[in-house]
Amino acid sequence: MKQLIIAYATLPKLPQMTDDDIRKLDVLNVAFALVEDGKAVLKTQTDLGCLAHFRQVNPSMKQVISIGGWGAGGFSEAARTPESRDLFATTAIELMRKWNFDGVDMDWEFPTHPQGDIAACKEDKQNFTAIIARLRQELDRFEAQDGKKYLLSIAAGADLYYLDATEMEKVASYLDYVQLMTYDMRCGFQSITGHHANLYNSTGDIFRISADASARNFEAAGVPRDKIVLGAAFYSRKWVHVPNKRNGLFVIAEKPSPEGTIYSCGEHGPRYGDLVENYIDKNGFTRYWDDEAKAPWVYDGSTFLSYDDEQSIACKVDYIKERGLKGLMFWEYFYDPTHTLLDTMYREFHK
């Protein structure tokens, strides 16, 4: 089985993607369309003429429109009734065909959970299955009409909460693959430092979440192994006011005095390009490696940054190949202007 390299790239900068990188990709997820008044809509001033150029550069790369993302609402309402599901599916496929995309990626990140101030209800669990089934039905209809294969995928939260909120065995039957967001596995709601994109668990970590655990949990929930895609992070998570012990790893960040800096734990940290330029073994920061977790971090005695790099991504590729998973996706293309991480993926998958 050929494993896939899948990139998320945001619309404003899409024309800046390089031909060399386009040649390395199997799927490009264009982020994001939204749900408004029950309809899938693409609100952008980006020149999408670049998509035709991408197709010339790499005719085998699939171009998929991603709908949703963090804080994007409208899904719960769109999934609620047969009529609302019909409207959403019809407009999503119209949008896909208008711009000559090769499929739809659903990024409804929190069914049944009102995270990001979006609507949610307990019925989302069954309605999520129903709206995915309706999308697949509509895609199948146009596959027969257009004589081509259309992809349907989702981006899924990596932890057990997502499995509790969905019927993954049923949902997976309609999907070409499930993209696990195996990043942000430790983030802003946690005061204890740690890896946010680790492949395995570490002995000293009280939070037992990892890419490996996520993949195995989804497989146990009924997602076939050859439909599971792991995720890689092109950015860091950051903790400040971290006491200087254990090189900052698995340490509780301290709240500063009232006159000090605002308390910060697990916030979205520098992107990979900035990490290379200013943090990795620079400006007082030292890079460390957790060989159990297969994950790096940097620390300067006070600030802790967790991220993915060449070494950790190579470990993920080895894991994907050994276990026969579908591939590796990453968020987000423009976070690495050095092109190092995508180059690593391509080299490791093709060696």
Return the active site residues: 109
Question: SS3 helix, strand, coil % of the chain, rounded to 5?
Answer: 35, 25, 40
Are the CB atoms for 167 and 119 separated by under 8 Å? no
| DSSP helix/strand/coil, 76 | helix
Residue 245 phi/psi, 5-degree rounding, is -150, 150
Beta bridge partners of 67: 33, 106
Name the 3-class secondary structure at 70.
coil
Among the listed residues 280, 274, 272, 270, the one whose alpha carbon sits nearest the alpha carbon of residue 300: 280
Tokens 């959970």 belong to residue: 113
- What are the angstrom distances between the C-alpha of 271 and each of 142, 157, 237, 309? 39, 21, 9, 11
Angle, vertex CA 293, rays to CA 204 and CA 283, nearest 5: 90
CB 45 within 8 A of CB 88: no
Buried b (16+ CB within 10 A) or exposed e, 197-228: bbbbbbeebebebbbbbbbebbbebebbeebb
3-state SS assignment for residue 199: coil
CB of 26 closer than 8 Å to CB of 61:
yes
Rounded (5°) CA angle 53-271-68: 60
Other CB atoms within a 10 A radius of the CB of residue 257 amount to 7
Contact between 8 and 332 under an 8 Å Cβ cutoff? The reply is yes
- Report yes or no: 178 and 228 within 8 Å, Cβ to Cβ: yes
| Local structure of residue 247 (DSSP, 8 states) | G
